[in-house]
Structure 1
Amino acid sequence: MFFTNLQLYRLPAPWAFSPEQLEAALAPYSFTPAGSNELLRQGWDKPRPNGGLVHVLNKQMLILLGTEKKLLPATVINQVAKARAAEMEEAQGFAPGKKAMKDLKERVADELLPRAFTIRSNTWTWIDPVNGWLVVNAASPAKADEVIKLLLKAVDRMPLESLRVQRSPMAVMTEWLTADDAPAGFTVDMDTELRATGESKAAVRYVKHSLDPEEVRRHIAAGKQCNRLALTWDSKISFILTESLAIKGVKPLDVINEKESSVKNDEERFDCEFALMTGELAKLIGDVVLALGGFADEGCQNADRQAA
């Protein structure tokens, strides 16, 4: 159950909020299936069957946002409404006006909603109170925002912040490509994207393609900067670092997969994977932040100390 896309947020380290407190806070917002006339329903669900809303292992916490959404395409509503409008025109001798059509579409949507297909999706969130991380397994910030919005509603005054680092990820990744050298513990892989910062927004993308240092430098000299870069950390995990500090396409390599292979029981396998994931990803995230100059607020604190 390795997370594949990491949207990163900071908590105070250590975060003095127990699993029991979190469980109690999430309980009023627990997941229940959507009713027949509901288009969307979200709530906190159990990460493990027969468990609680907070799964805990080695002080690491795992929570799960469940979402049920009804599929009711506008094309279907319009098609049925059009047929109904034709019947009305035949019966009354004239076509319904704009307001009547709007009301008709709303009635059709209400009629079709109970018969619409339901799609269930899960968004996993890992909370590391020891190192001060909240990590949402989501490909987009918008999906992560759904988790954060409901979490802040449940946990009063939760001290959650966006991740900020001292140096621009785009500038630092561009430097690595210019020097053809990654920071200690990392290697550059074969996927990257270089994008112009001017009005043209011209971009060059390499996908599973060896990076020719001279060719890359020419693109950089022409005004492009790196906004996505594939890296491998400590020969254990490959991923893509983005300009927005998202870590995407996370893949554990063989050295980690081999540690899981001897575990057969489903519950043991789940906990083994969770322990491995949290242990390794906490180190990876820490090294990424360090490679980008550290936390932005640490830079401010250092400057304050020097001024004093």
Structure 2
Amino acid sequence: MWFKNLQIYRLPVAWGMTAEQLIAALSPHAFVPPTASELLRQGWDAPRPAGELVHTVNRQLLLCLSTEKKLLPATVINQVAKARAVEMEDAQGFAPGKKAMKELKERVADEMLPRAFSIASSTFVWIDPVNGWLVVDAASPSRADEVIKLLLKAVDKLPLESLRVQRSPVGVMTEWLHADEAPAGFTVDMDATLRATGESKAAVRYIKHSLDPVEVRRHIDAGKQCTRLAMTWDSKISFVLDETLAIKSIKPLDVLQEKESSTKDESERFDGDFMLMTGELAKMLADLVEALGGEAKA
């Protein structure tokens, strides 16, 4: 299994909490499916079927936040409530007021909730206590913040910080493109976004398109900066780095996928994939932080 997106946080290196202690902390917040009258439930779940709340491979920890949300569109509630309001007007001779309409919508929602469809989703968290990484597989910072909020609620005094680097990702990515030179160990791929800093917010997007150095340099000289850049690390992993220091669209390349397919048993393959992923991503993150000037110190 490979994470597709990385929202990156820092833990102290050699963080001392064991998997057993983490399981004990998460257990009171374990996932329980919502009742018929509940719209949303979230909680910690086993990453592997019939497993523990913390899955451990080679000192690397994997967590899973499960979410089940019922679909109850406001348009449907409003439609039913409006029909009920017409019936009330016919029966009582006048239309329901603002307060009565609000109460009517609430009653309609309560009645429809037990019959609403549910959508289940899972968000995975990788904790590397050896190198001090905590990574959420989420495309948006808001989703990662939601996961972290629930983790902090479960784990008292978790010493967690956002990753901070010495140099702005926007400034460094712009420099790489202007010089037509990627940092050591990386190559620049064929996706990028250049955005103007002024009021116009003009943007140029390259999607699977060769980044012509002369053309790109002309955009940069006109005031645009790189806010999104596709790269490959060590000929093993391709990804997109954005202006918030999030890493997206991660894809292991052929050299790693060949290693993944060497084991046939599902459980062994999962553990092998996880060990391979965490080992390679830890090295990639260290190289990327170095390319961005190193970590910013408090």
User: Which position in structure 2 is the counterpart of 1:3?
Assistant: 3
C-alpha distance in structure 1 between counterparts of 2:217 and 2:163, whole Å: 29
Residue number in structure 1 paired with 2:124? 124
* Partner residue in 1 for 2:193: 193
C-alpha displacement of 1:200 = 1.1
SS state of the match for residue 296, structure 1? coil
Match of 1:305 in 2: none
Counterpart of 1:250 in structure 2 is: 250
Aligned to 2:160: 160
Superimposed CA distance per residue, residues 43-75 of structure 1 (whole angstroms, 9 cap, x where no aligned partner): 000011121000001100000000000100001
**What's the CA shift string for 1:128-186, capped at 9, x where partnerless?**
00000000000001111111001000111100001100001000000000010101100
Note the alpha carbon deviations across 1:16-57, whole angstroms, 9 max, x for none: 111111000000000000111111100000011121000001
Q: Stretches of 4+ moved more than 6 A in 1?
A: none
Deviations 1:81-112 (A, max 9, x none): 01100110111111111111111000000100
The runs of 5 or more residues in structure 2 that have no matched partner are: none
Paired with 2:197 and 2:246, the residues of 1 have a C-alpha distance of 20
Q: Secondary structure at the match of 2:286?
A: helix
Shift of 1:282: 0.4
Letter of the structure 2 residue corresponding to residue 232 of structure 1: T
Cα distance in structure 2, aligned partners of 1:25 and 1:84: 48
1:99 aligns with 2:78: no
Give the partner amino acid of 1:229.
L
Percent sequence identity is: 75
Look up the match of 2:238.
238
The residue matched to 2:32 in structure 1 has which SS? coil
- Superposed CA offset, 1:227-275 (max 9, x none): 0000000000000001100000000000000001121111011001101
The alignment of Structure 1 onto Structure 2 pairs a total of residues equal to 298
Give me the TM-score of the superposition, normalised by structure 2: 0.99
Measure the CA separation in 1 of the matches of 2:217 and 2:55. Answer: 47
Superposition TM-score, scaled by structure 1 size: 0.96
Matches within 5 A, 1:1-308: 1-297=1-297
Q: CA RMSD in A?
A: 0.6
Amino acid at match of 1:228: R
Partners of 1:288 and 1:262 lie apart in 2 by 29
Whole-Å separation in 2 of the counterparts to 1:235 and 1:81: 58
Q: C-alpha distance in 1, partners of 2:289/2:53?
A: 30
1: CA distance, partners of 2:231 / 2:294: 18
Q: Distance in 1 between matches of 2:235 and 2:179?
A: 21
* AA of the residue aligned to 2:226: C
Partner amino acid for 1:203? A
1:266-301: per-residue Cα shift (whole Å, max 9, x none)? 10110011011000000111111000000001xx6x
**Secondary structure of 1:166 counterpart:** coil
Q: Partner residue of 1:303? A: none
